[in-house]
Structure formats: C-alpha cells, structure tokens
C-alpha cells in the first residue's frame, strides 16, 4: 500500500514502494505557476506505487520563478540520493535553470518537462543527462512557437513524447485553465 503524501515544510513527499534491490532516483517536481502542489498528487502516488519517491516542491506564492533553488532543501534531506528534476509549465523552466546551475552534481540523473521547455538561462544543450519533453495534443496554453524555438537549448538526444488527447491542465488536477483546449482523456 502506497503511503499518502507526507506534508513537509517545503514539499509534499510520496515515498516509493520498494520494488526490487535497485534504488530508483528521487523525482523532484516544480509545479506550474499558481498551481498548488497537491494538484499533482494523482500521478505522484502512481509513481510511488511503482517504486519512485516524489517530492513536489511548495513554491512561495505558488510561483517557481521566486523559488528556483527550493530543490536544495530536498537534496539536504536526501544527501545520498540520485535525482531527476523537472516541472510543469513555468515550473519546468525553473527546474531547467536549477539543472543548468547544478550540471556537475553527480547525483543529477535527468531532467523532464511537462508542457514546458528551457530558456537560455536553463540551457541543457551540452548536458550529459537524459532529457524528456512531454506535451499534449490538446494543449492550447503552451506557446508552440516558443516551444519549438526552445529546442535549441535541449540536447539532440532529447526524447519527445506527446499525450494524444491531453491538455495543459491535465498534467495536474486543478480544473479547467483559461485558454486551454478540451481534453479527450481523463488524468485519473
């Protein structure tokens, strides 16, 4: 049975079930702008059931742009853990900046984007870690032109995945978002 997320001072923590001897990296997640961390609990619980511990960062005023170094606290709490970092929308931008600043950290094992992309300050072009970019076909919030232009800041070996029928708000569970497309799938 997966434990419910534990409410820590700086993050929500979902402890991964022990599935085998191999230790999975910790997943550090930066939420989208003005989105409460609890909105990402559904998939965090699913990842925990599959052996991955997840820390969803609590951002000041729910804005990753003013809490870009919040992953430091999680790394302090888990000093020997390998980790991957990423985020949704603006959270992904700030997560890439964090990864860029910490590119020499031997515990950093990957970066992921959910309806997001890096900016110049968060370039991962020369990064040796794997990068995953996830988008959704009904997302009308993600600026597609900026997304395409931002690919210059990603390594050539970046893996791109598109969720057919998903929308921007579907990466979390926070309801409809103004200007978003209508999802053809559920996020549950």
CATH number at residue 123: 3.40.50.1820
**Is residue 88 a part of any domain in this protein?**
yes
**Is residue 93 a part of any domain in this protein?**
yes
The predicted pLDDT at position 18 comes to 79
**Is residue 162 a part of any domain in this protein?**
yes
**Is residue 185 a part of any domain in this protein?**
no
Furthest-apart CA atoms within the chain: distance in Å: 45
Range of the domain at 43: 6-171
**Is residue 179 a part of any domain in this protein?**
no
The predicted pLDDT at position 129 comes to 95
**Is residue 24 a part of any domain in this protein?**
yes
- pTM value is 0.94
**Is residue 183 a part of any domain in this protein?**
no
Within 10 angstroms of residue 121's Cβ, the number of other Cβ atoms is 13
Give how many domains the chain has, as a whole number: 1
**Is residue 106 a part of any domain in this protein?**
yes
Q: What is the C-alpha to C-alpha distance for residues 8 and 55, in angstroms, rounded to an integer?
A: 9
Question: Along the chain (188 residues), what's the average pLDDT of each consecutive run of 10 residues?
Answer: 71 86 87 94 93 94 87 96 97 98 96 98 96 97 97 98 95 89 84
The distance from CA 132 to its chain's CA centroid, rounded to whole angstroms, is: 10
The predicted pLDDT at position 174 comes to 87
Secondary structure (3-state) at 114: strand
Q: What is the C-alpha to C-alpha distance for residues 6 and 131, in angstroms, rounded to an integer?
A: 28
Cβ atoms 171, 88 nearer than 8 A: yes
The predicted pLDDT at position 2 comes to 36
The predicted pLDDT at position 5 comes to 82
Instruction: With residue 73 as reference, give the H or E element that holds it.
Output: helix 71-77
For the range 175-180, what are the long-range contacts, defined as Cβ-Cβ under 8 Å and sequence gap of 24 or more?
Answer: 177/141, 179/140, 179/141, 180/138, 180/139, 180/140, 180/141
């Amino acid at each position: 049975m997966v434990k419910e997320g534990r409410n820590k001072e700086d993050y929500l923590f979902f402890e991964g079930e022990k599935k085998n001897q191999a230790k999975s990296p910790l997943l550090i997640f930066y939420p989208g702008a003005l989105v409460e961390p609890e909105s990402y609990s559904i998939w965090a619980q699913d990842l925990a059931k599959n052996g991955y511990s997840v820390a969803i960062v609590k951002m000041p005023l729910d804005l990753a742009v003013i809490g870009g170094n919040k992953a430091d606290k999680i790394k302090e709490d888990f000093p020997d853990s390998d980790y991957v970092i990423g985020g949704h929308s603006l959270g992904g931008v700030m997560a890439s900046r964090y990864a860029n600043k910490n590119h020499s950290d031997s515990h950093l094992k990957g970066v992921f984007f959910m309806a997001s992309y890096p900016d110049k300050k968060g370039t991962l072009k020369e990064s040796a870690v794997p990068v995953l970019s996830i988008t959704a076909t009904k997302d009308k919030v993600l600026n597609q032109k900026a997304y395409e232009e931002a690919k210059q800041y990603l390594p050539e070996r970046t893996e791109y995945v598109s969720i057919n029928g998903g929308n921007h708000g579907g990466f979390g569970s926070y309801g409809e978002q103004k200007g978003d497309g209508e999802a053809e799938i559920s996020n549950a």
